[in-house]
Amino acid sequence: MKSFTEYLNFNTSKRREYINITPEVESALEKSRIREGMILVSAMHITAGVYVNDAESGLIQDIDKWANDLAPLGKDYLHHRTGEDNGDAHLKNLLIGSQVVLPITEGRIDFGPWQQVYYAEFDGRRNKRVIIKIIGE
């Protein structure tokens, strides 16, 4: 079994952003030369997430509204007693999730219809990373 690791770096201009990282994940797979296996894509921060869904702007706005309705920015979270102001971002991470595992078949990500990989930033404007770990044959 072989393995391959690549890191993506982000420093978003806004506090919340949703970035399609499918091309970067596919590029990492190509570099790995792995034909059968799995890809783990994981946010390396507890105020960001990774998810798989449709690359449609209305849906992305719906996801953002849904996450913000459930964990609104500006609420007086107990976490803020530590001096932070990002309690909402930690909760949004729990809603979206921090990682996905994708199957590799015949050297390609075995996506279903419309599926794309997204990085979701909830406390941006600073350096963040995502790890792509690929294992297989």
What confidence tier does 10 reach under pLDDT thresholds 50, 70, 90?
A: very high
Average pLDDT rounded to a whole number, residues 12-22: 97
**DSSP secondary structure string, 10-25?**
E--SSSSEEEE-HHHH
Tell me the backbone φ, ψ of residue 82, rounded to 5 degrees: -85, -5
- pLDDT of 71 reads 98
CATH topology of domain 2-136: Jelly Rolls (2.60.120)
Summarize pLDDT for 106-137 with one digit per residue, the tens.
999 999 999 999 999 999 999 999 999 999 99
CA contacts within 13 A on the Cβ side of 32: 29
- pLDDT of 43 reads 98
What confidence tier does 45 reach under pLDDT thresholds 50, 70, 90?
A: very high
What confidence tier does 26 reach under pLDDT thresholds 50, 70, 90?
A: very high
Q: 60 and 19 in contact (C-beta within 8 Å)? A: no
- pLDDT of 29 reads 98
Average pLDDT rounded to a whole number, residues 87-91: 98
Whole-structure pTM value: 0.96
Which residues are registered as beta bridge partners of 100?
41
What confidence tier does 104 reach under pLDDT thresholds 50, 70, 90?
A: very high
